[in-house]
Structure 1
Amino acid sequence: MGQSTARDSDDPAYASMIARARSLLPQLRERAARTEELRNLPPETERDLHESGLFRMLQPKRIGGAELDYVALIDCADLLGQADASVAWNLANLASHHWMLAMFEPRAQDLVWGGDPDVLIASSFIFPAGRARKVEGGYRLHGSWPFSSGVASCEWNMLASVVSSDDEADGIEYRIFLLPKADYNILDTWNVAGLRGTGSSDVEVRDAFVADHMTVAVSDLAGGSAPGSKLNPNPLYALPVFSLFPYVLSGVALGNAQACLDDYAEVSRHRISTYNRAKLSDFQSTQIKIAEASAKIDAARLIMRSACIDAMADARRRHIPDMTTKTRYRRDGAFSVNLCTDAVSMLFAASGARGLFTTGVLQRQFRDAHAINSHLAFNFDAAGTNYGRVALGLPSENLTL
């Protein structure tokens, strides 16, 4: 089995979090079918994630969080993804919102965490889905956002929107708005083929007032100082949010692919071919498939973790990455997930008709792999094009970087 490795072997907090994540794997595997049926995390799974502290891995210590390095998202999602990709997806998603809230103004942090530091926050960062306009003291917001993962479990939501202005000279502004549950409606739209247990339903806001301090401009999340920096000085909260956005979720693809490889290797050790009664482990093609899939997964893990570790090192030096580096982070995030998807697809094809049975895990791993890969952050054409533009001296087309 692939191993998630803590940043430092002498970091007891990091090692403890990894151990707690690993301890959950047996029960998460047992609940995987039920998670798909519910189309949301089972209550007992949500409770386990709370009690383990995993939701709060990136939350500031002053609130009682672990305040671990950003690579914790990769390592913990990698582990949980080896049991159930839907659980890993929601864990990483919702944990990342504690990290982002630490960059909001202190009044927003106090309002959300003051009531309950364990509170969960959903999101949808699809900017064109919303429209906001400036009014006295804040903004009026409306829109309909898809793919708000885990929203049924959350009391708050971070919704991205374009801010409209009557003056064209103002240009386009992207902002994130933090709303309580009472200000949006959840639409039960999540009936899908993969990541079925994530409950990634649509949310709708008809006309909500959002105070200034409950919003943050995307330009304030580009790296370096943020509105919450004085309260939370750890370099973790000085990272460029949307440059590193793929790594919030990329570990899910990694764990799912690792589980697929481990299962394929285990079956191949004992299975007899129905064609000629030979052992599959004796086939050169089986051996090559295992070698190729493991190489793709190991390469993906190295790429993902290196990006997160390098970004933290820059933040500790108070260095804000240039646009070439930011677009490279996006390029590598998409590329590494594509490697994981390729590995799962190859193993699924090599498994023959065995993979078709709905009672087995392989068909779920295949569906989940392609559902993960469908996220815009993992579209290599988009990420690769933008990296190529910047490498050739052209401006970036991604307005969030």
Structure 2
Amino acid sequence: MAPGQEPSVGRAAGTQSDEPAHAAMVAKAGALVPRLRERAARTEELRHLPPETERDLHEAGLFRMLQPKRIGGAELDYVALIDCADLLGQADASVAWNLANLASHHWMLGMFEPTAQDLVWARDPDALIASSFIFPAGRATRVEGGYRLHGSWPFSSGVASCAWNMLASVVYSEDEADGIEYRIFLLPKADYKVLDTWNVAGLRGTGSCDVEVRDAFVPEDMTVAVGDLDGGPTPGSKLNPNPLYALPVFSLFPYVLSGVALGNAQACLDDYAEVVRHRISTYNHARLSDFQSTQIKIAEASAKIDAARLIMRSACLNAMADARRGHIPDMATKTRYRRDGAFSVNFCTDAVSMLFAASGARGLFTTGALQRQFRDAHAINSHLAFNFDAAGTNYGRVALGLPSENLTL
């Protein structure tokens, strides 16, 4: 985004349940863009969000956009994650990534047992919750009153700022006939250790470190089964009847973070257009804006970004519409959500890669934003939720009448 330029955010067909509140939250995100962009280099150096950035996000209420109103949250529709991450991603993808991640955990906590919600939010309604949803990283066994949990989980974004963590694990039984269960465990900070492992090329400011748990006891009501999060009423529904808390969590998982890719790509496009609008070729002194190849690249990149925005927002709006009708999506719909989440982010990555290549050697300078946008785009795309081979294969299986291979759907 060029200096003085307004951040871009698009709209797909559909409406939110509370348009004024949604618009107000999006406006708060947009107001932060200039200062977050100025801090981007420092955020990378720190490898986590600067304290003043966390404070800005808290004061704007952005972390609580999906938190129940009864706790003081905004309880906006799910599409707010896309729109706010889109805007913040135009400043700094690391900030957008942590905001979307941590905000989504307030939404998920609203699906836990009421005792879990009360324990976290009665102490501090602003408390941040980290996560790692890599099920094979943990091993849990059922004991009286709950579970014993141990394991080592990577990629717990923003964990240093959090008082709690949602860790996914496989639950094993001594009786093989019982099979295995996928479950999420909510632990206080005292029950896990943060390992400073986040030395990476992209999304450097997210502080996505490893966490380690050694034989922690987790009470039953501080856990939730993945099967309870596949759409429809959840253990938290008695407190939070809004259809927002009846969405299928892991079917819509890509859209927690896909808006980050969108904003990062939009910023890359805006910056590129601003530069070539005034730039003269080093070799023949021609105006780059007069080159047909430049014009075509801007058209192609913008088409991919606009298409990605439409896909992402439409998926979220349609899911909310289904939830309001009490309709639980079938497996074909769930695998389509995963397919489209990956496909739309791949569009954004393609746009950034094309613009980076078109920028030539100037894009290599670390003083510019383009090299960071390129690194961040590929870091985002490396997330398993955006692996189109995996999402596409599973969609194709279901479309052909075969069972889904994704056990969390």
Question: Scaled by the length of structure 1, what TM-score is found?
Answer: 0.99
Q: Distance in 2 between matches of 1:172 and 1:248?
A: 27
**Pairing 1:88-237 to 2, within 5 Å after superposition:** 88-237=96-245
| Separation (CA, whole Å) in 2 of partners of 1:41 and 1:192 | 15
Alignment counterpart, residue 46 of structure 1, candidates 54, 60, 80: 54
Residue identity opposite 2:397 in structure 1: R
Which of these residues, 328, 333, 336, is aligned with residue 328 of structure 1? 336
Matching residue's letter, 2:48 = N
CA offset at residue 4 of structure 1?
4.0
8 Å contact from structure 1 (residues 4, 76) kept in 2:
no
Question: Percent of counterpart pairs with the same letter?
Answer: 88
Moved over 4 A (4+): none
- In 2, the alpha carbon distance for the partners of 1:174 and 1:4 equals 37
Cα distance in 2 for residues equivalent to 1:15 and 1:301 = 17
Q: Does 2:14 match 1:2?
A: no
**Cα displacement (A) at 1:9:** 10
Conservation of the 8 A alpha-carbon contact between 1:293 and 1:343: yes
Query: Aligned pair 1:339/2:347, yes or no?
Result: yes
Tell me, which stretches of 5 or more residues in structure 2 are unaligned? 1-6
Aligned position for 1:317: 325
Post-superposition offset of 1:11: 2.0
On the 8 A contact 2:82/2:257 being kept in 1, the answer is yes
Q: Distance in 1 between matches of 2:351 and 2:17?
A: 29
Give the Cα separation in 2 of the matches to 1:293 and 1:275: 25
Q: Contact (CA 8 Å) 1:4, 1:78: kept in 2 or not? A: no
Choose from 303, 307, 311 the match for 1:299: 307
Cα offset, 1:172, TM superposition: 1.9
Amino acid at match of 1:21: A
Kindly provide the amino acid, as one letter, of the partner of residue 34 in structure 1: R
Q: Structure 1: which 5+ runs fail to align?
A: none
Equivalent residue of 2:217, what SS? strand
Partner of 2:3: none
The size of the alignment, in residue pairs, is: 401
The answer for the alignment partner of 1:11 in structure 2 is 19
2:384 maps to 1:389: no
* CA deviation after TM superposition for structure 1 residue 8, in Å: 4.8
CA distance in 2, matches of 1:9, 1:173: 35
Q: In 1, distance between residues paired with 2:17 and 2:152? A: 45
1:242-261 mapped onto 2 (5 Å cutoff): 242-261=250-269
- Residues of 1 paired with 2:140 and 2:18: CA distance? 47
RMSD in angstroms over aligned alpha carbons?
A: 1.0
How much has 1:342 moved relative to structure 2? 0.2
Superposed CA deviations along residues 335-387 of structure 1, whole A, max 9, x for unmatched, are 00000000000000000000000000000000000000000000000000000
- Equivalent in the alignment of 2:83: 75
What is the CA deviation profile of residues 79-102 of structure 1, one whole-angstrom value per residue up to 9, with x for unaligned ones?
Answer: 000000000000000000000000
Q: Aligned with 1:24: secondary structure?
A: helix
The answer as to 2:279 corresponding to 1:275 is: no
Give SS of 1:296's match: helix
Give the TM-score taking structure 2 as reference length: 0.97
Q: Residues 10 and 117 from structure 1, CA distance in 2 versus in 1: closer, same or farther, beyond 3 angstroms? A: closer
* C-alpha contact 2:11 2:313 (8 A) present in aligned 1: no
